Every structure is written in C-alpha cells, then in structure tokens.
Amino acid sequence: MINFYFSDEYLNHDTGSHPESVERIKVVNKLLLKEYSNHNFYTPSLACKELIANVHDIDYVNDIFDKIPISDLIYLDPDTIASPGSLKSYLSAVGGSVDAVDHILSSTKEKNVYFCAHRPPGHHAEKNRAMGFGVFNNVAISAQYAFNKKKFSKILIVDFDVHHGNGTQHIFQDNPNIYYASSHQFPFYPGTGDISEIGQGNIFNCPLPAGCNSNLFRKLFKENIIEKINESFDLLYFSAGFDSHKLDPLASINLEDDDFEWITETVIKKFALNIPIISVLEGGYDMKALYSGLNNHLKVLQKYSDD
C-alpha cells in the first residue's frame, strides 16, 4: 500500500492563471481517487516555524508569514505568488513531508512507501528566498528532519523535475551524508546544475540538452546518476516532477509516459529495494502529462511497497 498525504488546503492556494495553478492538484486528486482509492490517505499536519527553520533562515520564515496578503495576490519573487489562502498550503506541504518520516519511525515495516501530493513545489526554494513557484523546500526540510533523528545515516534525494533543484543542492552541498542527484534541462532555469557541481562528492547532476528524447535521457541518466553513485542508503526521496514530458509547455525535454515508470524502477532497483521511500510532488504543467506521468510513477511505487 502507498501512504498518501493530501490536503484540501492545496485548493485554497490561489495563483490565478499561473502555471502552478489549482488545476494541477485537481488532476492529481482525480488520479488518486480513480486509481488508488484503496490505499492509505492521511491529512498533513501544519508545520510550525521551528520545523521550517531547520533548513530556512528564521528571519525569512517570519517574513513569509508576515507577507501573506489579506486580499488579492502578491508576488514573493517574479515567479512565486501568495494569496490569502496560501499559508496553510505551504505549511501542509512541509508538514506532510515530515509526517511521512514520523510514520516511518513508528512503523514496523521495512518498505514503507509514501507519496506527498503537495503544492506548491519546493525544490527551488533557497534558505532565505522564495523561488520558482516555491516558498519552503518540502523535500529538504523533511530530509534534514529525518537526518536529525539519527535513524538514517545516509539519505539519497533523486530529482527528476525538468528544472534543477538549486535550493535542495545548495542546502545539502556541504553535508556528505545527504546525496542529491538531479536530471534536468541545461542550460535552463534556474541556471544551476552543471555536471561540475559536486559538493562534497554528494552532488550528482545529469544535464540534459534541449530536445532530449527518451533514448538519450536514459543513457545520460544511467551514466551520470545510476552508475556513478555506489553507496548504500537508509532512506530515498524522489523530487517527482513531470515537466520533462514532451507535452509540457515550460521546457523542451521530450520524455514519454513510460519514461517515468523507467526512472522510478531504475532508481529503486539500484538504491531502495529494502528501504523506505518518500516521493514528493514537484512540477508538471500539462494536465494530461501530469496525470499519465504521475500514474506511471505511482504504479512502480505500489509494486515496491509492502501490503
């Protein structure tokens, strides 16, 4: 069974006609209700400031709380919008990502699998800056929380969103026990993610040229991530973005539906056959591609989860 974290609060994070819109989470919810309704569903808790400040500067956290508008929409950066209903969405996305860690720690199973159907995405959020639609870095906060519990000595984050997770890389680039691996269009927004960026030997970037098709993607992903990382991990995260699909309007990578099944299967077979998995939703801005890509990702997670 997959353990899903989902909140109706995500419907209240109004971004108007922005690509990271309410329609995304409606599509995700439609998929979950149609194909995965027999799995476990949990309502995320609301993260407190202290939890968020394990990764983000507390002055930045306070500033975000103070900037939430009473009416209308405001821009926290040129791409990132806040509305009166946004704060609980931000806090639910962090809270659910951390709840998954607590669930793992209280479980007797070895192969717990979680999918956090959150919005907004978070992998661009820096320690002190909202960026790329995101305000708090959901995956980074969860991974840091897990590491602080001293139950996971080595953690792997695999990010297959089409944009490089600059925030996640910068947060962990000096922590040799938390690995970050990313495949992404390059050069492209946000400008980071060159193959030469290696941190403390814990950063593995897989740049993809514009127009990259399935065959080239799989070749580069294997060469730069699967074959380069030869460590054992206690916990695996996916930063699961579906905007590298050929239908997505925000990038120029041409992956097919079944590539998301291949990514998930390949990563799990190499790194996570007997460890917990937490997958957190990132990008994906074509509704058909988001639905089909996510479904292929979840089919594999289901396969490797305990009943």
> Is 163 an active-site residue?
no
Dist. CA 272–CA 182, nearest whole Å:
17
User: What gap in Å lies between CA 148 and CA 142, rounded to an integer?
Assistant: 10
273-294 burial: b if 16+ Cβ within 10 Å, else e: eebbbbbbbbbbbbbebbbbbb
User: Where do the structural domains in the chain lie, given as residue ranges?
Assistant: 2-303
**Fold classified for 2-303:** Arginase; Chain A (3.40.800)
Q: List phi, psi (to 5°) of 43.
A: -90, 125
Distant-in-sequence, close-in-space partners of 235: CB < 8 Å, separation ≥ 6: 104, 143, 146, 152, 155, 156, 275, 276, 277, 278
Tell me the backbone φ, ψ of residue 82, rounded to 5 degrees. -125, 140
Q: In what order do the strands lie in the sheet with 235-240?
A: 40-42, 2-5, 113-116, 277-281, 235-240, 155-159, 178-185, 203-208
214: closest CA among 247, 184, 258? 258
For residues 163 and 172, the answer to whether their CB atoms sit within 8 Å is no
Beta-carbon contacts of 101 under 8 Å, excluding residues fewer than 6 positions away, are 142, 145, 146, 149, 278
- b/e map of 66-100 (b: 16 or more CB within 10 Å)? eebeeeeeeebeebbbbbebbbbbbbbbbbbbbbb
| Residues contacting 249, CB < 8 A, separation 6+ | 19, 285, 286
pLDDT the model gives residue 131: 98
Question: Cα–Cα distance between 185 and 172 in angstroms, integer?
Answer: 21
- Of 13, 118, 123, 124, the active-site residue reads 124
DSSP H or E segment with residue 119:
none
CA–CA distances in Å: residue 268 to residues 35, 99, 167, 264: 22, 22, 24, 6
DSSP state of 129: B
Average pLDDT per block of 10 residues along the chain, 307 residues long: 97 96 98 97 98 98 98 96 98 98 92 96 98 98 98 98 98 98 98 98 98 98 98 98 98 98 98 96 98 98 86
**80-82 and 74-77: which strand pairing?**
antiparallel
Beta bridge partners of 213: 254
Q: What is the value of pTM for the model shown?
A: 0.98
Residue type, 289: A
| Radius of gyration for the alpha carbons in the chain, expressed in angstroms and rounded | 17
- Indicate the angle between helix axes 257-271 and 287-303, nearest 10 degrees: 30
Q: At what angle do helices 22-35 and 287-303 cross, to 10 degrees?
A: 40
